[in-house]
Amino acid sequence: MVSPVLEEYKLRSGVSRGRCRTHSYSSPQVIDDGLNLHVNSAKTLISQSLLYNMLKSFNTSWRLFGKFQHTYPQQQLSNIKYLLAFVAFCHSNLKLSHNMIKLYLSGIQHFQSLECPDSPSLFSTHAIRAILKEISKVNSTPDSTRQPMSEQLFRSLAQALTGMPFGHTLSLLIKTAMYLAYYSFLRLGEFSKTHASSAFLRKSKIVWCDSFYDLTLHSAKTLAPGNVVEIKYFPTGNAWCPVMVILEWLRVISGEPPDSPLFPTSGVQLTTAVFMKYMRVLLSNMGVNPMFISGHSFRIGAASE
């Protein structure tokens, strides 16, 4: 079944079922059901070739484009002019970065190419390349302020959390999440919720296997659909042992059902905003500028170490 947004795009852009708008004036051809079945199968295979998070981003971009179409009908504008208006809207109204706008255009390109595989790439158009180049210059900053989470800073944060500055349960929750992020190179969205509708990490996904804890992730940036990532945490035998921290946290939530959030805060899953809020409080108390540390600092810091 074709989505309403895709159907709306096809009507406005001159694309009809089984036909692309081209420079040819030949009459449309009716595709028989058997061939149409294979065409739809090809579309499915193309979409399945994308990584899970990439397809999710493309779906987000397509929904945003659909809302833009609803608010600002295309009328007599050509497709490229209309897309330029969409890019300007993302830049001026939504304040999106150059990389995010480029990703959203890639999503629109993906869904358009499913209907018109012969259509040229949006990025081959001079106007599209020019507007992206200018947005890139506007968004650019001389130096990146994001710094890696060094081993020394990580240990200082862990020591501060041992003092339970936010109360026993919340302090241990933040500490455990921090240990998972650092010891397994996790991105922020892989152990906390980025928004209300995103999936959360369940308690049942971390289990003890004789000599180590095993964490199973079903969603990661580079993970293909249907695959999982298994991360093992072994005892280190020192004061910074991740196994001891995980064990202590699992004792706190031992009464919760297996499908409950691994990191619940007030009955809901830990969000990226809440995690970074407490990280910034700790950093400020330690005399470290919190603007230099982001969620990704744990991943790049662990890789550096």
Per DSSP, the residues of 237-289 read SSTT-HHHHHHHHHHHTTTS-TTSBSSEETTEEPBHHHHHHHHHHHHHHTT--
| Strand, coil or helix: 220 | coil
Two tokens at 19? 């036909």
pLDDT above 80 for 64: yes
What radius of gyration do the chain's Cα atoms show?
24
Reading the block at residue 264, the tokens are 């619940």
Classify burial at 285, counting beta carbons within 10 Å of its beta carbon; exposed 0-12, middle 13-18, buried 19 or more.
exposed
What is the SS3 assignment for 135?
helix
Whether 15 and 114 have beta carbons less than 8 Å apart is answered as no
d(C-alpha 243, C-alpha 211), whole Å: 10
Residue 135 · residue 95 · CB < 8 Å: no
Reduce the DSSP state of residue 233 to 3 states and report it: strand
Q: Which range among 93-97, 208-212, 234-238, 262-266 shows the weakest confidence by mean pLDDT?
A: 262-266
Cα 133 to chain center, whole Å?
24
| Interatomic CA distance for residues 5 and 63, integer angstroms | 7
Give the lowest-confidence range in 64-68, 223-227, 239-243, 255-259. 223-227
Separation CA 149–CA 297 (nearest Å) = 5
Which homologous superfamily is 151-304 in?
A: Intergrase catalytic core (1.10.443.10)
Mean per-residue pLDDT, 104-115: 92
Q: Going by DSSP bridges, is the β-strand pair 264-265/229-233 parallel, antiparallel, or unpaired?
A: unpaired
Beta-carbon count within 10 A of 240 CB: 16
Confidence of residue 273 (pLDDT cuts 50, 70, 90): confident
Q: Give this prediction's pTM.
A: 0.57
pLDDT at residue number 282: 93
User: At 213, which helix (H) or strand (E)?
Assistant: strand 213-217
Q: pLDDT at position 22, please?
A: 36
- Name which residue leads in pLDDT, 113 or 25: 113
pLDDT for res 126: 94
Question: Mean pLDDT score of the chain, rounded to an integer?
Answer: 83
Reported confidence tier of residue 47, pLDDT bands at 50, 70, 90 = confident
> Distances from the Cα of 20 to the Cαs of 16, 60, 94, 250, 279, in angstroms?
7, 24, 31, 56, 52
- Between CA 277 and CA 147 the distance in angstroms is 17
- What band does 48 get if pLDDT is binned at 50, 70 and 90? confident
CATH of 4-21+28-139 among 3.30.1390.10, 3.40.50.10860, 3.10.450.50, 1.10.150.130:
1.10.150.130
- The domain locations on the chain are 4-21+28-139, 151-304
- Distance CA(151)–CA(171), nearest Å, equals 20
